[in-house]
Amino acid sequence: MKSATAGPTVTEDAWDGGREVRGPRRPAAWCAVLLFAGVSVVVGCRVADTDGVTPVPQLLAFLPWLLVPTAAGLLFTLRSRWWAGAVWGVALLGLLAWYIEPYGRTEDPAGPPLAHLRVLTSNLEYGRATGPLVDAVRREKPDLVFVQECDHRCDAVLARDLAAAYPHRSAVPGDGSEGSVILGRLPLRPTAGVPGTLGMPGATADVAGRTVRLQLAHPMPPLPGLVPLWQRELGRLRDAAAAAPDVPTVLAGDFNASQDHAAFRRVLDTGLRDAARLDGADRTPTWPARTAPAFGAQIDHVLVSEEFAADRARFLDLGDTDHRALVVDLTLHAGR
Q: Which domains does the chain have, with CATH numbers?
A: 11-100 (no CATH), 113-333 (3.60.10.10)
CA distance 157 to 333: 35
Tell me the pLDDT tens digit for each residue of 208-225: 999 999 999 999 999 999
CA–CA gap between residue 80 and residue 161 (Å, rounded): 64
On average, the pLDDT of the chain sits at: 92
Spatial separation of the C-alpha atoms in residues 212 and 116, rounded to whole Å: 13
pLDDT at residue 25, as a whole number: 58
User: How many CB atoms sit inside 10 A of residue 236's CB?
Assistant: 15
Q: Is the pLDDT of residue 6 over 60?
A: no
Stretch 31-47: mean pLDDT, rounded?
97
pLDDT(8) > 60: no
pLDDT tens string 153-195 = 999 999 999 999 999 999 999 999 999 999 999 999 999 999 9
pLDDT band at residue 22, thresholds of 50, 70 and 90?
A: very low
Report the alpha-carbon distance of residue 234 to residue 218 in Å, rounded. Answer: 9
Preceding amide of 55 cis, omega within 30: yes
Nearest to 196 by CA among 169, 214, 168, 221: 221
How does DSSP classify residue 63?
G
CA distances from 241 to 193, 194, 257 (A): 11, 10, 16
pLDDT at 26: 82
pLDDT tens digits, one per residue of 282-330 = 999 999 999 999 999 999 999 999 999 999 999 999 999 999 999 999 9
From residue 88, give the alpha-carbon distance in Å to each of 8, 66, 91: 13, 14, 5
Question: 81-139 pLDDT, tens per residue?
Answer: 999 999 999 999 999 999 999 998 888 999 999 999 999 999 999 999 999 999 999 99
Q: What is the mean pLDDT of residues 38-42?
A: 98
**pLDDT computed for residue 104 by the predictor:** 87
Per-residue pLDDT at 20 exceeds 60: no
Q: DSSP assignment, residue 297? A: B
Read out DSSP for 110-153? PS-EEEEEEEEEEE-TTTTTHHHHHHHHHHH--SEEEEES--HH
pLDDT digits (tens, 9 = 90+) for 231-257: 999 999 999 999 989 999 999 999 999
Q: Bigger pLDDT: 21 or 28?
A: 28
